Amino acid sequence: MATFNVLIVYAHQSATSFNAAALDTAVKTLQLQKCNVVVSDLYAMKFKASATAEDITGTLKNPQNFQYGEESLLAWQEGRLSADIVEEQQKVKEAELVVFQFPMYWFTVPAILKGWFDRVFTQGFAYTPEKMYTEGIFKDKKAILSFTTGSYESMCCPDGINGDINIALWPLQNGILHYCGFQVLAPQIFWAVEHVTEEARQNMLEGWQKRLEGLLQEKLLTFAPFTSFDVGAGFKLKKEVQDSLATCEFGLTVGHHVGKPLPPDNQLKATLSHCSKLLSH
């Protein structure tokens, strides 16, 4: 493998945690493949999670009615974002693969990682109204979520007590990563790490190592192409696309189910249903 730039955004407080072991496995495995690996250890960096006016240097456009999105866009255009944001944006800009390593909190990312998304993925840098989803700014980059859970896999199935994990992953993988254009790889999920044996945890790490060795050759998760939506009709699926789905057993994706059953494991596995294959051509 040729030199490849990887950014790992890491969000865990403890150096003795399973997440730390997963991070260490990723760094070592990727470096052995001649990857240039950069780690943003958010807790060690004391990364500020809250998006505030402190993120903008210089004069605000409208201090009486502060709008973070508007002010951060202008600050990005004029080079007036705070130094910690600029540093992280440069890391993202240079990365060809971004790995997010974290424990799942309340079916989402820890607050410090959510703050990283809020502050680093500013408009202009990560997206624009014209450049999003499959036409997004980061469409030449790959991204993957790697995280631990407190729940067993059986609890996060369509018939499990926590409900379908695919639904919980949709806002993260589609609403953040794919929205910014990333090619999204299937997530790496370490189920119930605190409730299993040490041998099971070691097997998980070995499985992660093996996957990392071929990660860049994996197929991507399936999302509806930007061209499937009618901009003039409020970005709704084009009529011809909806018509093509009429005979499909399942919806197109978790989010674009068009009133049909959700396609199984749409956010977990890089598989194409018959109907999504039609839209990919």
More confident residue, 231 or 1: 231
Whole-structure pTM value: 0.94
User: What pLDDT sits at residue 281?
Assistant: 40
User: What pLDDT sits at residue 1?
Assistant: 45
Q: How far apart, in whole angstroms, are the C-alpha atoms of residue 26 and residue 265? A: 25
DSSP strands (E only) in 124-281:
142-148, 183-184, 188-190, 229-230, 236-237
Q: Where are the alpha helices (DSSP H) in 111-197?
A: 111-120, 165-172
pLDDT in tens, 123-154: 999 999 999 999 999 999 999 999 999 999 99
pLDDT in tens, 166-223: 999 999 999 999 999 999 999 999 999 999 999 999 999 999 999 999 999 999 999 9
What does residue 240 show for φ and ψ, rounded to 5 degrees? -65, -30
What pLDDT band is residue 161 in, cutting at 50, 70 and 90? Answer: very high
CATH topology of domain 4-217: Rossmann fold (3.40.50)
Q: Which residue spans of the chain are classified as CATH 3.40.50.360? A: 4-217
What pLDDT band is residue 4 in, cutting at 50, 70 and 90? Answer: very high
